[in-house]
Amino acid sequence: MDPRPIGVFDSGLGGLTAVRQLTAGMPNETIVYFGDTGRVPYGSRSRDTIRRYARQDAAFLLSQNVKMVIAACGTVSSVAADLGETLPVPFLGVLDPTARAAAAATRSGKIGVIGTTATIRSGSYRRALAVLDPTLQVFDTDCPLFVPLVENGFLAEDDPIPRLTAERYLAPLIEAGVDTLILGCTHYPLLEPVIRRVMGENVALIDSGRETALACREFLLENDLAAPREQQGSRRFYVSDRTEGFAGIATLLLGGSLDGTVEHIDIESY
């Protein structure tokens, strides 16, 4: 048993979808979340910048005495997957758990991947899926406007702004006939109703936050790192930009009460 918190970071607020899943599956765990709201989005940044940001984000979480670091960010998981080699605690990204779930879900062998520009450009999901099954056909496309839409609360299924954006981005994947679609950014599950409406009910949507939470739980249990059952789980939230307005969108992403403190930090000092 290990009572220390789990550290989770993302470029902004999208990683809260992973926190939601972690809390649901492991209610006795304490979670420290850092959202780099002052530098979001990561997906349009250079490789070197993304890697520098990831190191700073992890350094902050380590200062909070976490027992594990989760990059709830598809961009970091794709571009800085080797971050864990430099950390004194276990590291988990969203890439591998999500790829495994997609490979298991597909019936036709045609898998679509949507993500930030940096994620798609890296080819990370193509490589991960090829290792799992070389016969899989992978069709990917970047969706650079999805993160700003989520961060600004454009989420409603009947809102023409996210719907028309999704129709534009997803058209090639529909034409390719994919039966499974990886939501390769933890912001994207917030747009799931819109994406499902565009893709159709027969396409399996793979939520990277959910799959990462499941992988985290399995790892902690297998390595005797889970919190004591009698522990009362809690959550602490940190952001690199203003805290005002955080509660509104965070409550939506978490699917309920914020139930935790929110503080601003200077991430450049890490």
pLDDT digits (tens, 9 = 90+) for 231-248: 999 999 999 998 887 877
Q: What's the DSSP call for residue 60?
A: H
Measure the CA–CA gap between 113 and 212, rounded to whole angstroms: 16
Structural contact between residues 239 and 14, judged by C-beta atoms closer than 8 angstroms: no
Active-site residue, 216 included: no
Phi-psi category of 29—alpha, beta or left, where left has phi over 0 and alpha has psi -120 to 50? beta
| pLDDT for position 186 | 85
Quick one: what percent of the chain has pLDDT higher than 90?
A: 83
Confidence band, pLDDT 50/70/90 cuts, at residue 256: confident
The catalytic position among 66, 129, 166, 185 is 185
**Whole-number mean pLDDT of the chain?**
94
How confident is the model over 170-185, as a mean pLDDT? 97
Active-site residue, 143 included: no
Measure the CA–CA gap between 86 and 256, rounded to whole angstroms: 35
Per-residue pLDDT at 162 exceeds 90: yes
Helix (H, G, I), strand (E, B) or coil at 228: coil
The catalytic position among 54, 58, 68, 73 is 73
Domains identified in the chain and CATH numbers: 6-93+210-269 (3.40.50.1860), 95-208 (3.40.50.1860)
pTM of the model: 0.90
Structural contact between residues 95 and 128, judged by C-beta atoms closer than 8 angstroms: yes
Chain-centroid distance, C-alpha 110: 22
* pLDDT tens sequence across 204-225: 999 999 999 999 999 999 999 9
How confident is the model over 180-196, as a mean pLDDT? 93
The residue with greater pLDDT, 253 or 202, is 202
Per-residue pLDDT at 126 exceeds 80: yes
